[in-house]
């Protein structure tokens, strides 16, 4: 009997990894500045690092090279309602959202959001390598501000910088072209892995 594609389930594996990764980074004392912008940068960082080592991202989010760094456009659109941050129903029980005012680079008053986890993360869904990368990224950025993280993402050789140099701001960050792979992972192998994962998503949902 042929296997039919399943309807998108909000709690399928990729979705749950996004949720639990955010819980991991926003649990108490993990980050000094758990802002929405910072979380975007950390999700991108773990995906880029894992792809460089294995040829596959962790969350399967797609990132665009926004002015201040990589942003997962579809997820950003999902949780951004006007000037507010509103988590979808399957995320709401896991977080508190704390708003704050700040002065942006134009000298204007703006509104930001810190995300605070209400529980501990479920790490069983991550591999040991994925947990190691998440721990490394959390350690690097534990006291950083979003501005510090932006400087990091803009460094030469980083995926954001490569994408902007090749295609300009607002372009999609192409994992195969913009992430510098480890020597043990060829572009051909990474391409094949991505095709296999895309086929699994098509058939079984995210």
Residue entry with tokens 């994408």: 163
Please state, in angstroms and rounded to a whole number, the distance separating the CA atoms of residues 181 and 89.
36
Tokens of 100: 């704050």
Sort 119 into a burial class: Cβ within 10 Å, 0-12 / 13-18 / 19+: exposed
CA 179 to chain centre: 14
| Matching residue, tokens 């991202």 | 57
Q: What is the pTM of this model?
A: 0.86
- Residue 203: the pLDDT is 59
Predicted confidence at residue 1, as pLDDT, reads 32
End-to-end Cα distance, the chain? 22
Cα 38 vs. chain centroid, distance in angstroms?
Answer: 10
Show the low-confidence residues of the chain (pLDDT under 70).
1-11, 199-206
| Contact predicate 13/125, CB 8 Å | yes
pLDDT given at position 3: 33
Q: What pLDDT, on a 0 to 100 scale, did the predictor assign at position 183?
A: 79
Q: Give yes or no for a contact between 15 and 8, defined as CB atoms under 8 angstroms apart.
A: no
Query: CA angle, 47 as apex, 44 and 51 as ends, to 5°?
Result: 140
pLDDT at 10: 38
Nearest by Cα to 31 from 139, 185, 124, 121:
139
pLDDT value for 62: 95
3: DSSP letter: P
Per-residue pLDDT tens digits for 8-65: 443 488 899 999 999 999 998 899 999 999 999 999 999 999 999 999 999 999 999 9
pLDDT at res. 7: 40
Question: CA of 69: how far to CAs of 34, 61, 177, in Å?
Answer: 16, 15, 17
Q: Are strands 63-66 and 69-72 parallel, antiparallel or unpaired?
A: antiparallel
What values do phi and psi take at 88, rounded to 5? Answer: -65, 165
């Amino acid at each position: 009997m042929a296997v039919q594609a399943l309807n998108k389930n909000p709690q399928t594996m990729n979705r749950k990894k996004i949720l639990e990764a955010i819980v991991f980074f926003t649990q108490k004392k993990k980050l000094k500045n758990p802002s929405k912008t910072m979380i975007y940068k950390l999700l991108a960082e773990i995906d880029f690092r894992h792809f460089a080592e294995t040829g596959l991202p962790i969350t399967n989010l797609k990132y665009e090279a926004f002015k201040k760094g990589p942003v997962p456009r579809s997820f950003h659109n999902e949780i951004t309602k006007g000037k507010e941050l509103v988590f979808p129903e399957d995320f709401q029980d896991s977080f508190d959202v704390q708003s704050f005012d700040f002065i942006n680079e134009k000298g204007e008053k703006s509104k930001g959001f810190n995300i605070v986890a209400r529980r501990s993360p479920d790490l069983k869904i991550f591999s040991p390598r994925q947990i190691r990368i998440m721990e490394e990224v959390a350690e690097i950025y534990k006291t950083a501000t979003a501005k510090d993280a932006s400087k990091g993402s803009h460094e030469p050789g980083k995926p954001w910088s490569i994408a902007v140099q090749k295609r300009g701001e607002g372009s999609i960050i192409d994992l195969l072209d913009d992430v510098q792979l480890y020597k043990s992972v060829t572009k051909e192998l990474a391409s094949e892995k991505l095709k296999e994962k895309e086929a699994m998503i098509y058939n079984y949902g995210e």
